[in-house]
Amino acid sequence: MIYVAIVGAGAIAGIHADAFSMFPDLCQVKAVCDIYPDKAEQLIQTKHLSQAHAYSSIEDALKEESLDLVSICLPPFSHTDAAILAMEAGCHVLVEKPMANSLEECDRMIETSKRTGRLLSVVCQNRFKTPMKRVYQMLKDGIGGPVTHAIVNSLWWRGENYYDLWWRGLWEKECGGSFTSHSVHHIDLLLWMLGMPDHVTAVMKNVGHPNSQMEDVGMAILEYPTCFAHICTSIVDHGESQEMVFQTKRGRLSIPWQTAASLPLPNGFPQEDHEFENELQKIYQSIPEMELEGHPAQIKNLLMAIRGEEPLMADGTDGRNAIELIMAIYKSSALRQSVSLPISPEDPFYRKDTMIEQMPHFFEKTKSIENFTTSEITLGRDVGK
């Protein structure tokens, strides 16, 4: 039996609790930690975690319980210290995205994982969904030929009061706006499917959230050796329309799934290639649906990896890659120039303090509350369905 602590009792912690509860033969939640112990107790009661105790800190839980896995659902600025503490205590770690506030922090987490021999998994729950799996497999198999152009629209909507929570809207705490807090999952998917680009050119702005220092809209152009990609991030888009489109030489692969293929007329204008569209449809449907999706699927993989029965499918390096691309995006926007990858340890954008010194403050935070009256969250349209 794998004994689990959930650290942080905010809204996302409920999703973790539900996922762990799906595998009673593999794991048991023994502790829930939060600086507000009543929130920890409320999560225990709401999710019927009958074997769990509430603690005000991860230190107390590690001291009182025999734990194997720590699931970190804290604000981003707390991820690194909590993850390192847990691994040093002999626990495996699952940490929510974004992995950390800087590349330097990511590297310390990865180094601790290697040194202690503990698994470090970063939440990439969208990789564990059938539409993403199908398109990933088709790209990997070269269906349609090489990718020529990719489009990622990571479009969300958040009210102005979203940033009233005490730790949100501050470079020091979140180390990023919509690219980091919302589009990080689409960025992870893009890197999973295409890999890291060579160069990045980006712009960003805050157009609708005056209680945040950071961006709420932005655009990044990614240069690969043989193709282009661009990412649009936003938390001012009503309807939260999200999509990933991969144009290959012969046809379109996309999430949500939509087939398209063209052949040239004698003058170069397009005509529909129905035969290849039908072939794409058959290949897409032939890839099996996942039995589990999202957080439950990733958590089951982690539990099986701890048992030595499966390879870990999303590790610290995956989480770090997303942070590296985001740091390149911020560097390009701040300096108003194209940026080359990778980012070296000598680069100001490798460390949190020197990175923050470079970033604009679009607004200053003037309102701050400890907790919202509701912990309900909505996660936008289920991309791909």
Q: What are 211-227's pLDDT values in tens digits? A: 999 999 999 999 999 99
DSSP-derived 3-state class of residue 329: helix
pLDDT band at residue 385, thresholds of 50, 70 and 90?
low
- Tens of pLDDT along 149-175? 999 999 999 999 999 999 999 999 999
Classify domain 2-124+294-314 by CATH number: 3.40.50.720
Classify domain 127-291+321-358 by CATH number: 3.30.360.10
All CATH 3.30.360.10 domain ranges in the chain, comma separated: 127-291+321-358
- Tens of pLDDT along 283-326? 999 999 999 999 999 999 999 999 999 999 999 999 999 999 99
pTM reported for the whole predicted model:
0.95
Contact 206/163 with Cβ under 8 angstroms? Answer: no
- State yes or no: cis peptide before 360, omega within 30 of 0: no
pLDDT at residue 383 tops 60: no
All CATH 3.40.50.720 domain ranges in the chain, comma separated: 2-124+294-314
Q: According to the model, what pLDDT value does residue 363 have? A: 98
Mean pLDDT calculated for residue range 224-242 = 97
